Chain A
Amino acid sequence: MGEIDITQDLEKNRSFVDAVIEETGSDIRQCYQCAKCSGGCPGTFAMDYLPNQIIRMLMLGMVDEVLKSKTIWVCMACNTCTTRCIRDIDVAAVMDDLRKEAIRHGYTEHAKNVIASNNTFLWTVKSWGRVFDAGMLMIYNMKTSNPMNNMQFALPTMLRGKSPIIPIPHAIKGVKEVKKIFEKAKQEGK
């Protein structure tokens, strides 16, 4: 993190911070840095900033730093922070919103795996109405150039009858309706 003119940053990015507040329904300006969110967060050991620091940085308008952070992608959405926040801030929803904004701004350095996983997951749901485990894993592995990832579980899973030997996806009856939900949601989002 280089030198930052906090006053200017705040002015420049006020609209972004207001949008986060609007989108999440949580007034982050109410945060008084008790750090309970960070105390309970199971992912802090892998983060570059603590959750309470992310909130403070947002309040100071440090939008680029927040969107480029590793923290927002380490967050596993367990909602412990939201549950414990004494100021009623939905910290997990803020993280969710920041992830979407990071993608929109093209800050995806720490997000490659999560984006590949989410997109593959949703693609199987759109195609067949339900998750297609085996297909999802294979495509995810190709996208992340790690073909043997999790393959050690394939045989034990088959032996327990939990996955077929030759995985074939089956579409649900209303798959066309599900496809429409995806298409319409995409239009709305534009």
Chain B
Amino acid sequence: MPKYALFPGCSLESTGMEYEMSTEAVAHALGIEMVEVPGWNCCGASAAHMTDHLLSLALPARALAQAETIPGVTEMVAPCAACHIRFAAVEYEVGKHNDLLGEINSLLEAPYTGKVKIRPFIDIFSNPETLAQIKSKVTRPLTGLKVACYYGCLFVKPPKVAAFFDDPENPMSMDNVISALGAEPVPWPYKTECCGASSSLTQEDVCTKLCNDILKIAKDSGADCIAACCPMCQSNLDMRQVTVEKQYGLQYRMPIPFFTQLIGLAMGLDPKALGFKKLFVDPAKMLQKVGA
């Protein structure tokens, strides 16, 4: 049974709680063991790396050191892309500079050794064995559902740091998962375009324009919904969709489920337990389409 340390990150406790609900439900149904990192702290996200280089590495390093205390775990996953890239940055930077590990550890109580590695969250579902397992467990195929798979920036870019195994311009790993569910991933050019989530507070107009571009192109590509894999992107496109619609005088009503919610849906799990009621844009029409 695969076992991973889970770093939920701050968003999964609030705006992205349906991501955690569906991740837990789907992992349970697939026999994947997820152990929450004990006493995890915020990774510092972009606020830390815009402020202080060493701080931006020491915060995620502490969380990795906490993950190292879980017996029998060699890999950690962070469902939030903004967290993922910070852990990947620690591994990348420590690998590049010899004395950095010592410098980071001089800030930490318990040392970070690097024995637990960060693994891209999508990969624990899209790897060939798990993908085959998912396929065999589909009881409610999402036939006819057109899905725009949205990867956002920080799971895939920059590829040298992100430790991603997929193409940074046209990734396919989530598309493959969505195909396995019986749904139809639509080809579209905005898979890894920035939604501006990091500036949703500080320059809202910029952020609204970027969201509108993504929603418009997804709609024009024929998508019934956009599948998200980052709680920052998801909340930006879902909660702020009403702002976009108002500003641009358009009506999208495009549901933005997490890809884990779609996996659970196809595996016959209860939509309520997967957190579909937590979404801001009503997914009723989309659920109806797949008979859920």
Report yes or no: B51 in contact with A100, Cβ–Cβ below 8 A.
Answer: yes
8 inter-chain pairs at a CB distance below 8 angstroms, sorted by A residue, are A46-B205, A77-B198, A92-B158, A117-B201, A119-B47, A157-B14, A162-B17, A175-B41
A180 touches B153 (CB 8 A): no
**Any B CB within 8 A of the CB of A59:** no
Q: Are B158 and A184 interface neighbours, CB within 8 A?
A: no
Report whether B158 and A90 are in contact in the complex, using a CB–CB cutoff of 8 Å: yes
Least distance between A9 CB and chain B CB atoms (Å): 26
Given A125-B59, A180-B107, does the pair A130, B41 have CB atoms closer than 8 Å?
Answer: yes
Give the contacting residue for B10; candidates A130, A140, A150; CB below 8 A.
A130
Among A79, A96, A137, A175, contact of B153 (Cβ-Cβ < 8 Å)? A79
Q: A184 — nearest CB in chain B belongs to which residue?
A: B107
- Given A118-B47, A118-B50, residue A133 in contact with residue B198 (CB < 8 A): no
Over the window 58-93 of chain A, the binary record of Cβ atoms lying under 8 Å from chain B Cβ atoms (1 yes, 0 no) is 000000000000000010111110110000001010
Contact with A42, one of B62, B96, B193, B278 (Cβ below 8 angstroms): B193
Q: What are the interface flags for A100-134 relative to B under an 8 Å C-beta threshold, 1 for contact and 0 otherwise?
A: 10000000000001101111011001000111010
CA distance A100 to B53 in the complex (A): 10
Per-residue contact bits, chain A 15-34, to B (CB 8 Å; 1 contact, 0 not): 00000000101000000000
Instruction: Determine whether the beta carbon of A189 is less than 8 Å from that of B201.
Output: no
The docked-state distance in angstroms from the alpha carbon of A171 to that of B133 is 39
Distance to closest chain A CB from B118 (angstroms): 17
Interface residues of B, count at CB 8 A: 56
**Chain B 191-216 against A: per-residue CB contact (8 Å), 1 yes, 0 no?**
01110101101110110011000000
Docked-complex contact A129 and B55, CB < 8 angstroms: no
A180 B42 Cβ-Cβ under 8 A: no
User: Is B267 part of the contact surface with A, judged by Cβ < 8 Å?
Assistant: no
4 interchain residue pairs of minimum CB distance: A78-B194, A113-B202, A185-B55, A79-B157
Binding site for B on A (CB under 8 A): 23, 25, 42-43, 45-46, 74, 76-80, 82-83, 90, 92, 96, 99-100, 113-114, 116-119, 121-122, 125, 129-131, 133, 137, 140, 149-150, 153, 156-157, 160-163, 172-175, 177-178, 180-182, 184-186, 188-189
> Could you say which residues of chain B place their CB within 8 Å of the CB of A150?
201
B277 contacts A by Cβ under 8 Å: yes
Complex: how many Å from CA A133 to CA B44?
14
Contacts A113-B201, A163-B14 given; does A76 touch B194 at CB 8 Å: yes
Contacts of A100 in B (CB 8 A): 50-51
**Contact in complex: A76, B198 (CB < 8 Å):** yes
